Each structure stands twice: as C-alpha cells, then as structure tokens.
Chains A and B, each alone.
Chain A
Amino acid sequence: MSTDVNIPKALSGTGSWLDDRFHGARGLRVFMRKVFPDHWSFMLGEIALWSFVILLLTGTFLSLFFVPSMNEVVYHGSYIKLDGIRMSEAYQSTLNISFDVRGGLLMRQIHHWAADLFMAALTIHMLRVFFTGAYRKPREVNWLIGIVLFTLGLLEGLFGYSLPDDQLSGAGLRIFEGALQGIPIVGTYLAFFLFGGPFPGTSIVPRMYIIHVLLIPGLILALITAHLFIMVHQKHTQMPAKGNTERNVTGQPFFPYFMAKGGAWFFFIFGALAFLATFAQINPVWLYGPYTPVAISSASQPDFYMGILEGALRMMPAWEYSRLGHTLSLGVLIPFALPLTIILGGATFWPFFEQWATGDKSWHNINDRPRNAPVRTGVGMAAVVFYGVLWAEGANDVIADKLQVPLYTITWIARILVFVGPAVAFIATRRICLGLQRKDRDLLEHGLETGIIRQMPNGEFIEVERPVSEESRAVLEAKKAPALLPAPGAEDENGVPSPASRGAMGWARGVANRAFAETIVAGNGHGNGHGPNGHEADGHADGHEAAAVGAGEGSGSGHEIGSGSSEGSGGATALPPGAEDES
C-alpha cells in the first residue's frame, strides 16, 4: 500500500504548467485509469498499429534517399553486375539505398516486412472481430472504418512496392494498366490520365510516390485515430468470463499496466521485423533488374495481399464479347472487380444484414464465442475459403513448379473449388459449431470426467463427475439465445401479420432468421441430463429460450439450466446460473 513515490520537481512543475492551460488533471486521470481487457486476440489490431508506426519511421528514412523520377540514367554504382545498364532514377536510388547507404538495406527490408505484417495483422484482426461478433452495435462504424483502412492498406502497399520501378513490380503495373484499360467506356481515359499517357510513360512513379507518402498515410493516420478514439470512447469488448457483464469492463488500468504491455508489444513487433529484415531477404530488386516492358520473369506475383486479384485473373476463362465496334472483356473485368467486391462489400454489409436477419438491436459488449454463432462463423469460413482458393491460385505456377502438379490442373481445380469450397466450408463449419455447442451443453450438464469409478451401495458403478469451475461455467453459459422473429405471415393475437414479414423480403428475412436462430439449447438438468430436454432444439420449439426481440440488454436469461438443483451430478454449484449477468 505504499505510495511513497516522490515525483520529481521537473515533472510536477511541467505538469502544473500544462494543467494551468489545458484543464488536464481530471481527464488525464480518467484516461490513466481506463481499463483494458486482457486477451491475446485483442492485441492483433495493435500489431497493425505498431507496424504502421514502424512504416512511418522507416518510410521517412527511405524518403530521404529515394528519387521518385522515371528519368533514364546509366548506372555506375556499387552493384557492379548492372554497371552500364540504363534504368530509371527511381530504380537507381533504390539500388543506392540498398548498397550505398549504411543501414539502407535494413531500413528497406524492415519497411517492406512491416507493410506485409500490417496487412497480415489487419486480415487476422478483421477475422477476429468478425468471428467474435465485435462489429455489432455499437461498433458498426468502427468496423466500417476498419474496412476502409484495409482497402487503403491494399492500395498503399501496391503503390509502395511499385515505386522502385523494378521488373517485378513493373509487370504488376502493366497488369493494372491493362485491366484499367479494359473498363467499359472510361477505361482508356482512366489509364491515360493515371499514367499521363500510354504505358509506361514517365508520370506514374512520381504520382504513386505522392499518393504513397502523403495522401494515403494521411488518410490512414486520420482513420486510425478515429478508430482508436471510438474504441476508447465505447470501451473495448471483452470475452465472456466470470465477472464480465454487458455493463462493465474488467482488466488492468492503462497506467502503468497496459502502457507497459503496449510498450513491450511495440518492442517485440519491431524486434520481430528487425529480425526478419536481418535474416530474410525481401524484394531483392537488384535481382529483378530495372523495368522494361519487353521482359518478364517466371513466378511473377504481387505481394500476398494482392494475391486474390492475381488468382482471379489466372482462373478466369477468356470471356470477351465484341459488338458494334466495342469490346467488353469480362475475362479481365470480373476478376478485377468481383472478388474484392464480394469480400469487402460483404464485410461492409454483414453487420446490417445480421441485424436485419436476427432482429437484434441490443448493445453487445461481450464477445460471442464463434461456436455460439454458427451461421456467422460458417459464412466467415466460407469467405476465408473463397479468399484462400483465389490466393492459392495466384501462386499456381510456383505450386506447379515446386509441388510437381501440372499447371492447367491447378487452374481447373481452383475453378471448381472457388464455388464448391465455400459451400462445403459453410456447411462443415456450421455443423462443427453446433457440435461444439453440444459439447458445451454436455459439460454443463455432466461436468468433467474424473476417471474415478465409484461403486454405489447397490452395486452400481458410476463415474464421478466434477462440475466445471465457476469461471468455465460463466464462459459456457455466455451463449445468448438468438431472437426469433415471427414466422412469415404469422399473425399476432389480433389476426394481423407483422408488416415486416410480408412479401419476398419478409420471406427472405424469415429464412435468414431461422438459420441464425438455430442453436443447441442447454438441457434442463433434470436427473443426469439425459432427460427429454437434453436434445438439441432448433429455433422453433422451445419458446423459453427465445429472448424478446429488441431487448435492451440482451442478457441471456433464457438459460434454464436447472436452478442449482442438479441432483445426482455430484451437486456442487450453489450459485444459481445467470447471476453473473446482474450488475
């Protein structure tokens, strides 16, 4: 209890000076006491945050040496293998950074690895938020900001690795221009305006440079600030646990705990990136050579986060139609537009679709366990498989070469899998979720097996079961009963069908609602849980577990798991279930 810390005069003096001008004491104290819940999956977004900081730092260093110009020069630098070659100043300055500036190659590699890590972390973070339902009210806006950040990150990375004007990234720009050119009506104009003329021109690198170092980082910085501010203002979600309710946050305060952990995390991330930059070479532009539209290398892929576009382009059949002097190239247009629209558009609309389908308008501050939302998890996995098939197809020539599979075979497999895979993934995942829910129910009802056999006085052998601990019980019981909307055309007590359930949209809503509402109910705990209510129910039968639509808190009061009187199952729990919901 000793707080005998002497604050140095300099610190307290400065603090007072600032406080005189900014009324900071109370606000700062409130912020220092802010509680941040502790779960490893909550740190994924921070990976992206710290990676971005590292990108800014290393990027500033690089910008001191990089020359964003496509003027042709003859190389006479330290990389003597290319001495005498004509190349752009951009490429030359990149070789200069790599070979003539101390620490230059290290900074370049940290920068590129950090960009990859930023996108990888964003992907995993997005998936975490999706699978735990953390995008639900009140966090939809933050979810949308996140999607915009992801898109901006894609563009930022694309332009960033295209800046050195090397053979590999130049091929990517050529593909980008070719696809742009194919857009109906405006395509050729867009391409010529962006590139300042025919490909490659001399404008694209300087333009990409200013977009890459000023415009997009500015937007990203602003959006990250908004994203974090919203998160702090609304407070982070937390995982279901004992003591966690919809109305509180449990964890450690910002000062000094979370601050220290965040600092440690920053150093670990930076350290991991420095380690990669030391031992794993990335983007060796000197091997690719300066860009010329005449040459290309095998295994030409963009960075991984563009892989899904590359795979879509490789997979697509050659569908093109020419009529009346105009050509529509679906073989280029569909891959260019459709996969990202499906993924990003789907992500954008999902929170609102889920709200519409479930009718759930309550606030959600406790995360869902993925198994407790089978349809959401299934759709998420379907999206992951869709993304993954396209991504793998983008590497098809590398797979063909290294794994000795014929090239066209891989493409055909991908063409089929891109449709079949997500369907199978959805079905399988949903089934697995429901199975896990059954397992949870069994754990609640039967407890844990101890492996100890006892003989009862009447000669019967039973296995002694230990009920789950309180913490586990809180987690297992955190499942909320999904709301059930009235069936399409169902009439209320006055014989009037609900207006929302009429028509095609109403029917669709009903179908969606029933899919979302399917869940495994916990049994009533009669006897040893093998009573008639121990079977799974779909959303229709048991009215007791359907919480009222639009309930304010949505606390799962529908779990009647035999209020403590579980006879015969080694009776421990004295605490009635659901108590943790009370604040």
Chain B
Amino acid sequence: MSWIKARRRRPVAGYAALLLGLVMVTVLYGAVAGTGGGGAQAQSPSSQSDIAAGETLFNFNCSSCHGFGGVGHAGVAPSLIGAGAAAVDFQMSTGRMPAKEVGAENERKPTTFTQQQIYEIADYVQSLGGGPTIPDAQQVSTAGADTALGEELFSANCAQCHNAGLSGGALTYGKDAPPLTQATATQIYEAMLTGPEAMPVFGDGAISPQAKRDIIAYVLETRSETSPGGLTLGRMGPVTEGLVIFLGGMGFLVLIAMWITAKRREPWDAAGSLPGSGSGSGSGSVSVDALDAPGDAWTEH
C-alpha cells in the first residue's frame, strides 16, 4: 500500500486534501483571471485636429444617444454642448463611453477606440460649444509637486468618496466612486476638471492647476508606493482586518489547538514497543478493518 494510501484515514488527511484543493483552485484562478484591461494610453493631444473626422466618428458612435450635434436626448444622454474635449477624452479613454446601457453607472472598461480617434471626437465636441480642453503633458507633470498639499486637498475633497487608500467607495442608489488605481495623470486631471457623472466639478478657480498637479502627484505616489507592512488587504481598513483575524488568525489557531489536544494514536513507525507498556499494536488478533476503528470517530465533543 502506498504511503499516501496508508494514511488516507488519518484525521490530517482530510485537512491536507482540503488544503490541496484550495491551493489548486487559487492557482487555477490566478492563471485564468486576467488583470483589468487598461484604457488607451494618454498622450499629448495631437496638434492636428480633424474635426470632420471627429464628426463622422461621432455620428456613427455617439449620436444615437447624444443626438446629432451633441444636443442630448432627455432621459437618455446629456447635451455635450460646452462639455469640452477634456470630458470626451476622459470618458472615452477610460472606456466609460460609449455607455453600455442608458442610465447605468458607467464603469471603466477597455476602450475600442484609438487615442487618435478619441482626439478627433474630442475636437469635434469642443467645436460644438467650447468647454475644458485636454491638458497637455506639462499641465499634468508632477515634477516639483507638493505631495503634502496634495494630501491635504485629497483628504478634504476626494478621500470621502475614493478612500484614503484609493480603493473607492459606495455612493447612494447603487453608484460607487471607483478606485484610483488605474487612472492616468491626464484622466485624473480631466476628471477633476469636468466632474464626470456623480463626481463634483473641481474647477481651476477652486483647485488651481498647480494644486491639481499636487493632488495627482499624491495619488500616483500613494498607489505606487510599496506597502511596507505586507499585503494591503484591499486598503479598506478595519473591515478586512477583522475578517483576517477571525478567519485567518482564529481559524489557524483553532486548528493548532485541535492538534495540540488530539488523542495520541499509535505512530506509524512504532516498531518494537517497550515490554509491559504499549497497546500491543494490533497484537496479532483479528485484523480490524475500518468498521472497527475506535469509537472515537463517533464521539462528538
């Protein structure tokens, strides 16, 4: 009988099988679960605008909800006159637009448009009624930014929705503020400027472009820094910590306690017991099969 088979009825065998199963599921899941697709890369807006190309794209892809000329459609989609290129670039580069359905909260998803196409549509919408323009690389550069000020502004105006650890948060009626783990610097700038969906507008008069850069620097720094204490547990605070201590900590310790107090069984390598002591392992009497396992199996302590 193989080594494993001889031990299949040990109590520890059950735990080992469970552990093996969990490990296999984890490995399989990790292999198949992909990371979320990123949006289109943010680049400096192209100096060449092709408003006509943008109009064509817009009419094919956006006008069904937003109407021709971006006038909007009551109850379906808002007017885009005055929305500005920045709003278009944000919504489309994060994949939120084109929206998958009317009225739903739009979540980040992989975009099907190239950045060039997005710029063209943005230029077209900008031509409809003006609005905030796409920030260039210098405007979102975090060189020389003051992360301390960024922290103060972020915690007073952003953390209550997006969480101090950038893990996002719940809003009312099923909406939520997304985590800030994937947004590019440009997208963050544009989001502050245009106030997408439920997010308020943080205009340049309230939060100056430099202050915006400070906030962006703070966000980028926070999400890229190593977590020195170990796994972040989702950066959601004490909720996950409590789960870990109960399920992980107490669960593990209870298993150890069961081991410490388990009844001693005859060991597998108990050849040659002391005379006068020992149970006379299986003492040559009627061979016992599983039916005659000691009644402990039925004892329910």
Contact = CB atoms under 8 A, between A and B. Distances in A.
Whether A and B touch (Cβ < 8 Å) is answered with: yes
Interface of A: 38-44, 47, 75, 80-85, 98-99, 105, 109, 113, 116-117, 120-121, 124, 167-168, 239, 241, 261, 264-265, 268-269, 272-273, 276-284, 287-289, 292, 294-304, 307, 369, 395, 397-398, 400-402, 404-408, 443, 448, 450, 466, 468-472, 475
A298 B168 contact: yes
B260 A261 contact: yes
B253 interface: yes
B160 A401 contact: no
A239 B299 CA distance: 11
A4 B237 CA distance: 58
Interface in B247-301: 248-250, 252-254, 256-258, 260-261, 291, 294-296, 298-301
B177 to A, nearest CB: 7
| Pairs of residues from A and B, 9 with the lowest C-beta to C-beta distance, nearest first | A469-B295, A298-B169, A304-B242, A281-B229, A400-B170, A297-B164, A295-B155, A401-B170, A40-B257
Contact of B250 (A117, A239, A292, A470): A117
Contact of A272 (B161, B231, B238, B249): B249
Secondary structure of the A side of the interface? helix
Contacts of B151: 81-82, 85, 289
B111 to A, nearest CB: 22
B228 A105 contact: yes
A298 B238 contact: no
Given A43-B261, A84-B148, A105-B229, A268 B239 contact: no
Given A116-B241, A469-B294, A121 B229 contact: no
B159 A297 contact: yes
Nearest to B156: A295
Given A83-B148, A167-B155, A289-B155, A407 B230 contact: no
Contacts of A113: 245, 249
A269 B177 CA distance: 39
B232 interface: yes
A168 B235 CA distance: 12
B156 A304 contact: no
A265 B256 CA distance: 8
7 contacts: A83-B147, A120-B246, A280-B248, A282-B241, A284-B232, A405-B174, A472-B299
Given A298-B169, A406-B173, A395 B239 contact: yes
Contact of B221 (A81, A280, A292, A468): A81
A212 B114 CA distance: 59
Given A120-B250, A475-B299, A475-B301, A280 B244 contact: yes
B106 interface: no
A450 B291 CA distance: 7
Contact of A297 (B160, B173, B232, B239): B160
Given A81-B151, A265-B260, A279 B241 contact: no
The B contact surface, by secondary structure, is helix
B222 A287 contact: yes
Interface string B155-188: 1100111111101111111101100000000000
A84 B160 contact: no
B76 interface: no
A43 B170 contact: no
A279 B231 contact: yes
A523 B194 CA distance: 78
Given A279-B230, A472-B295, A397 B170 contact: yes
Contacts of A450: 291
Contacts of A75: 148
A39 B242 contact: no
B77 interface: no
B236 interface: yes
Nearest to A279: B230
B152 interface: yes
A307 B159 CA distance: 21
A555 B205 CA distance: 83
B176 A400 contact: yes
User: Which of A277, A287, A299, A407 is the most central at the interface, judged by chain B CB atoms within 10 Å of its CB?
Assistant: A299
A280 B291 contact: no
B231 A280 contact: yes
Contact of A81 (B160, B218, B236, B256): B218
Contact of B164 (A268, A277, A289, A307): A289
Contacts of A282: 229, 233, 241
Contacts of B176: 400-401, 404
Contacts of A297: 155, 159-160, 163-165, 237
Given A83-B148, A404-B174, 18 more contacts: A40-B254, A75-B148, A81-B148, A82-B151, A85-B148, A113-B249, A117-B250, A167-B155, A167-B159, A279-B231, A287-B164, A298-B168, A298-B169, A303-B241, A304-B246, A471-B295, A471-B296, A475-B301
A299 B156 contact: no
B227 interface: yes
B228 A98 contact: yes
A299 B236 contact: yes
Contacts of A40: 254, 257-258, 260-261
A475 B299 CA distance: 7
Contact of A296 (B159, B171, B177): B159
